[in-house]
Chain A
Amino acid sequence: ETGVTQTPRHLVMGMTNKKSLKCEQHLGHNAMYWYKQSAKKPLELMFVYNFKEQTENNSVPSRFSPECPNSSHLFLHLHTLQPEDSALYLCASSQDRVGTEAFFGQGTRLTVV
Chain B
Amino acid sequence: DAKTTQPPSMDCAEGRAANLPCNHSTISGNEYVYWYRQIHSQGPQYIIHGLKNNETNEMASLIITEDRKSSTLILPHATLRDTAVYYCIVGRTGNQFYFGTGTSLTVIP
Binding site for B on A (CB under 8 A): 2, 4, 6, 31-33, 35, 42-43, 45, 48, 50, 56, 88, 90, 92, 94-107, 109
Contacts and interface: CB of A to CB of B under 8 A. Distances in A.
B47 to A, nearest CB: 9
Q: How extensive is the interface on chain B, given as a class?
A: 20 to 34
Contact of A103 (B46, B98, B99): B46
29 contacts: A2-B46, A6-B43, A31-B95, A35-B99, A42-B101, A42-B102, A43-B97, A45-B96, A45-B97, A50-B95, A56-B96, A90-B43, A92-B43, A92-B44, A92-B95, A92-B97, A94-B93, A94-B94, A96-B95, A97-B93, A98-B92, A98-B93, A99-B92, A99-B94, A100-B94, A102-B95, A104-B43, A104-B44, A109-B41
Interface in B59-109: 92-102
Contacts of B93: 31, 94, 96-100
Given A90-B43, A101-B49, A102-B94, A43 B32 contact: no
Contacts of A48: 95-96
Nearest to A109: B41
User: Does more than half of chain A's interface fall in helix, strand or loop, or is it mixed?
Assistant: strand
User: Does more than half of chain B's interface fall in helix, strand or loop, or is it mixed?
Assistant: loop
A30 to B, nearest CB: 9
A6 B34 CA distance: 23
B25 interface: no
A33 B95 CA distance: 7
